[in-house]
A and B are shown apart, each in its own frame.
Chain A
Amino acid sequence: MQTSDSRFPDFKDPVPSDLEIAQDAALDPILDVAERVGLGPDDVDLYGKYKAKVHLDVRERYADRPQGRYIDVTAITPTPLGEGKTTTVVGLSQGLGRLGKKVFTCIRQPSQGPTFGIKGGAAGGGYSQVIPMEDFNLHLTGDLHAVTAAHNLLAAAIDNHIHHGNALGINPFDVSWPRVLDLNDRNLRQVVIGLGGKPNGFPRESGFDISVASEVMAILALATDLRDLRERLGRIVIGETLKRQPITAEDLKVAGAMAVLLKDAVMPTLLQTLEHTPALVHAGPFANIAHGNSSVIADRIALQLGDYVVTESGFGSDIGMEKFMDIKCRASGLVPDCVVIVATIRALKMHGGAGKVVAGRPLPEELTSENLEALETGCANLAAHIRIAKLFGVPVVVAVNRFTLDTDKEVALLERLAVEAGAETAVMTDHWARGGEGAVNLAEAVVAACEKPKNFKFLYDLDLPIRNKIEIIATKVYGAEGVDFLGPAETKLKRFTKLGYDKFPICMAKTHLSLSHEPRWKGVPTNFRLPVRDIRASVGAGFLYPLCGDMRTMPGLPSSPAFENVDLDLETGRVIGLF
């Protein structure tokens, strides 16, 4: 790694691979990055020269400083390839940096599942990345492993308790706490544990989820401080007794040890962008099956230290952004100043019926050649996301993430239709090829939008019955005509209301590939009813999650997984083929 003299990368054409750009980058020592935002050596714990954990008490030190502007970046309904949301988050941050603003990027740590599966890493792309990219996409500072360990410690405590006499009377057939692993492995979705006779425990069916879907991860993201984290861990409900009383992690006397495992993970990790602006990395992705937002703690620290904080919420506005608003903002008390919706012309043409995007295959010609008719039809999807964002009373800016084959006519049409649909403005941005320089227009638009009046409001009142809250999300956000609560869901509605869980917000588990529950329905689906087949409670995290359609909490690997290209250069020790 080089040491930085120049502030900005030397842009190359054609743009090299993400990994090449990241490995050629000149990094600042992380202590220098920290110093520029007012943090001294005693405010951080170093993890090598380019990574550091930020202490939680820095917030109090800067408590008198006015909070920065808070920007959430979301997207249209994405293709399976994603539409460059994280790249835009980083590009926008670098663009704000170019305007001389004191900016923070707050993003989530990627899961190794997608990194080695279909999607690849999540550090951004091109000249808009968080670095060191290999560390960011793999172990980083071990937060995901800590979450996995804490989760599995609770799982072990449950089976150990049953094995040693089951004094609490846990119903072994009603344990809702699986084990987790931060890899895609479909064979672990359903397993039988405890085989091999009495010394090996009580045999029962169980399963594995991916670690980022763990309630522990959700707690890490929503906790406001160490005390809140500890209390939420204690409230986790793992199942019921034979007399149908909830059993908590506190009952099993394991919540304290879980908190110990998370004592370092509770601190966000400070990294930098390619243009040396600070980035806080914390919590995990998967907004379709979890809430998929970066942490409240990271955002609060950043808002106290910076003038502009750019964060992202997973997938489209119907998924991550709705949860950002209704779950995360409720937990944090923070209010966003602006929402940025990332749109790509290829995805909108797909929504207009022009072709199909399949991961691992080249894009069809319909999506790579000019097609104004399909784009105009597909812009209905963009309009729906603008409408959804405006439900929360926040100004909306559309970022058109430009790809090489997009034509000027297509960009102009998209910009016009976005404004007609209610966006403050729509801006073409070229941060992938030109870093912050390519996103200055977007940064200026966001600065202007942050000064617009806002009338922030949640989508629903927490005091409404569970059923009402789900129906409001289904109809006002997804555009469903109604909701079908199938057998188990109907039973859980009654059960959770009786247990007092009815005041929780709702964290819908729904496909991210459609506004509806059916991934094949593109554009703006109408005339559909949302099936809710089950509802589960994350009492520690403090939300209920209805399962809409077939949702899997442990992904599988594709026929050609991304890991096939990954290796080490044994001469230099560098990672190769991560993308």
Chain B
Amino acid sequence: MTSIENLENLSFFDGLEPADRDALLAISERRTYAAGDTIFGEGDGPGSLRVLVSGLVSLRQKLKGSSGDAQMAKVSEPGSVFGIAALVGEEHLYPHSAVTLEATELIEIEGERLLALFEADPAAGVRILLRFAQYMAAKLSSAREQIRSRLRPGLISHG
């Protein structure tokens, strides 16, 4: 079990009821990584849900295209949640890799233990999943804004 110390400022936990937060922390582990460590690889699984306490993590996805390989990287900052595929992804495999860019501390919750928590306390499960849904909605909104800004007239290069 990890302690609650310094977690109040993490937005994901901040939106949870204290009892639910305690329940999550009871099944979590706090882990540290050095800069450049690979937390998991693309296609790895099954895995854990992770909350970034401190540091920077790059979430990378390879893309195949007619002009060759490309790679997208989204960088997560403290408070971010990643590895949600551990709960809901296809065969619970990660669609991207996760690499630390600097010394990083994470809270890790194994997907199976989380599902077990939901089964044992369905009401808590609904509340926690609602929090996930809020978090994901905010991320989708951010992604929508990025797409919209890229589609502004003149911002697409055809050259």
Q: 1/0 per residue A461-484: CB within 8 Å of B?
A: 101110110011011100011111
Is B65 in contact with A484, judged by CB distance below 8 angstroms? Answer: no
Instruction: Check A527–B70 contact: CB distance below 8 A.
Output: no
Q: Contact between B58 and A527 (Cβ–Cβ < 8 Å)?
A: no
- A464-B35 contact in complex given A485-B70, A490-B69, A490-B70, C-beta closer than 8 Å: yes
What's the Cα separation between A485 and B68 when bound, in Å? 11
Most chain B beta carbons < 10 A, residue from A468, A491, A518 = A468
8 A Cβ contacts from B51-99 to A: 56, 58-60, 65, 67-75, 77, 99
Note all chain A residues with C-beta closer than 8 A to B69: 487, 490-491
Q: Is the CB of B58 within 8 A of A482?
A: yes
Contacts of A528 in B (CB 8 A): 146, 149
One digit per residue, 1 when the CB lies within 8 angstroms of any chain B CB and 0 when it does not, for chain A 514-552 equals 000010000000011100000000000000000000100
B155 proximal to A (CB < 8 A): yes
How far, in whole Å, are A491 and B157 apart by their CA atoms in the complex? 21
Taken together as a complex, chains A and B put the C-alpha atoms of A468 and B68 apart, in Å, by 21
Contacts of B58 in A (CB 8 A): 467-468, 471, 482
Please indicate the chain A residues that have their CB under 8 angstroms from the CB of B35 in the complex.
461, 464, 468
Residue in contact with B70 in the complex, picked from A467, A486, A550, CB distance below 8 Å: A486
Residues of A within 8 A of B71 (CB): 467, 484-485, 490
Q: How near does chain A come to B140, taking the closest CB pair, in angstroms?
A: 12
Range for the number of chain A residues in contact with chain B? 20 to 34
Q: What residue in chain A is nearest B102 (Cβ atoms)?
A: A472
Task: Specify which chain B residues have a CB less than 8 angstroms from the CB of A485 in the assembled complex.
Answer: 70-73
A488 within 8 A of B: yes
Contact A468 B101 (CB under 8 A): yes
Chain A CB within 8 A of B142 CB? yes
CB-CB under 8 A from B146, the residues of chain A are: 481, 527-529
Residues in chain B near residue A518, CB distance under 8 A: 155
Find chain A residues with CB under 8 A from B75 CB.
Answer: 471, 474-475, 480-483
CA A460 to CA B103, docked complex, whole Å: 11
B68 and A472 contact, CB distance less than 8 A? no
The residue from B65, B99, B145, B155 contacting A527, defined by CB atoms under 8 A apart? B145
Residues of B within 8 A of A464 (CB): 35-36, 101
Q: How far is the CA of A518 from the CA of B149 in the complex (A)?
A: 11
**16-35 of chain B: CB within 8 A of chain A:** 35
Question: Quick one: which of A465, A490, A529, A550 contacts B68, CB cutoff 8 A?
Answer: A490
Contact indicator B70/A475 (Cβ below 8 Å): no
Please give the distance in Å from B88's CB to the nearest CB on chain A: 22
Contacts of A476 in B (CB 8 A): 56
In the complex the two chains form, what is the Cα distance from A467 to B99 in whole Å?
Answer: 10
Q: Are B155 and A488 in contact (CB under 8 A)?
A: no
Least CB distance from A550 to B in Å reads 6
A559–B56 CA distance with the chains assembled, in angstroms: 46
A471-B58, A472-B101, A528-B146 known; A484 and B73 CB under 8 Å? Answer: yes
Cβ–Cβ < 8 Å partners of A489 in chain B? 70
Residue of B nearest to A486 (CB): B70
Contacts of A550 in B (CB 8 A): 157, 159
C-alpha gap A388/B159 in the complex (Å): 33
Q: Is the CB of A487 within 8 A of B70?
A: yes
A468 touches B99 (CB 8 A): yes
Q: How close is A462's CB to chain B, nearest CB, in angstroms?
A: 12
Docked pose: A529 CA to B56 CA in angstroms: 16
- Do residues B68 and A482 form an inter-chain contact, with CB atoms below 8 A? no
Tell me, rounded to whole Å, the shortest Cβ–Cβ distance linking B42 to chain A.
14
Q: What is the distance, in angstroms, from A140's C-beta to the closest C-beta of chain B?
A: 37
Q: Could you say which of B67, B73, B142, B149 contacts A483, with CB atoms under 8 Å apart?
A: B73
**B67 & A472 in contact (Cβ 8 Å cutoff):** no
Known: A482-B73, A527-B146. A475 touches B68 (CB 8 A): no
Q: Is the CB of A475 within 8 A of B65?
A: no
The 6 A-B pairs of least Cβ separation, nearest first, read A487-B68, A482-B74, A487-B67, A475-B75, A485-B71, A482-B73
Given contacts A464-B36, A484-B70, could you give 9 more A-B pairs where the C-beta distance is less than 8 Å?
A: A471-B56, A475-B56, A481-B142, A484-B72, A485-B70, A485-B72, A487-B65, A487-B70, A490-B71
Q: Can you list 16 A-B contacts (CB < 8 A)?
A: A461-B35, A464-B36, A467-B71, A467-B73, A471-B101, A475-B75, A482-B58, A482-B72, A484-B70, A484-B71, A484-B73, A487-B68, A490-B69, A528-B146, A550-B157, A550-B159
